[in-house]
């Protein structure tokens, strides 16, 4: 084994290592270097190994980007947790407001059904 082939093998190994640690950019850089070196030396067996590893990294990167795109396609309502989460926030807010020493007076003499109606209006607003 020559010095150049040893260096190419090191780049291939580093590329695979970076891939396993989810450092795709570094993995792609080392795999590209290994591919170039194997091509220049005419080492077809190792060239195919490096190409396959680089293709795997590219596919993982594409899949990751697609998952990110799908995640950002959710509405704000969905990301907040939907009706149940917003209802929980409204319940917590109204109980705090009713127990607040300064603001509680606005709810002190109100019927429970009136408070429930205001809670529903708040949920619908949010």
Q: Are 81 and 60 in contact (CB under 8 A)?
A: no
Specify the pLDDT at position 88: 87
Instruction: Report helix angle 44-72 to 3-20, nearest 10.
Output: 20
The two tokens of residue 66 are 């697609």
C-beta of residue 113 within 8 angstroms of C-beta of residue 107 = no
Quick check: 21 and 60 in contact, CB under 8 A? no
Q: What is the pLDDT along the chain (126 residues), one digit of tens a residue?
A: 678 889 988 989 888 888 888 888 888 888 899 989 999 999 999 989 989 988 888 888 777 777 766 656 778 888 788 888 888 888 888 888 889 999 889 888 889 898 889 888 888 887
Q: What is the pTM of this model?
A: 0.51
Residue 1 has a pLDDT of 62
Cβ atoms 54, 35 nearer than 8 A: yes
Dist CA 30 CA 12 (whole Å): 6
- 37, 31, 35: which is closest to 19 by C-alpha? 31
What pLDDT was estimated at residue 43? 92
């Amino acid at each position: 084994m020559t010095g150049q082939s040893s260096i190419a093998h090191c780049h291939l190994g580093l590329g695979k290592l970076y891939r396993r640690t989810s450092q795709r950019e570094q993995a792609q850089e080392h795999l590209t270097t290994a591919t170039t070196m194997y091509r220049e030396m005419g080492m077809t067996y190792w060239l195919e190994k490096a190409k396959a590893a680089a293709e795997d990294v590219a596919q993982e990167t594409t899949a990751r980007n697609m998952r990110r795109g799908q995640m950002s396609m959710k509405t704000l309502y969905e990301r907040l947790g939907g009706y149940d989460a917003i209802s929980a926030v409204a319940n917590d807010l109204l109980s705090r407001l009713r127990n607040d020493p300064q603001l509680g007076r606005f709810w002190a003499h109100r019927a429970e059904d009136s408070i429930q109606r205001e809670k529903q209006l708040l949920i619908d607003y949010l």
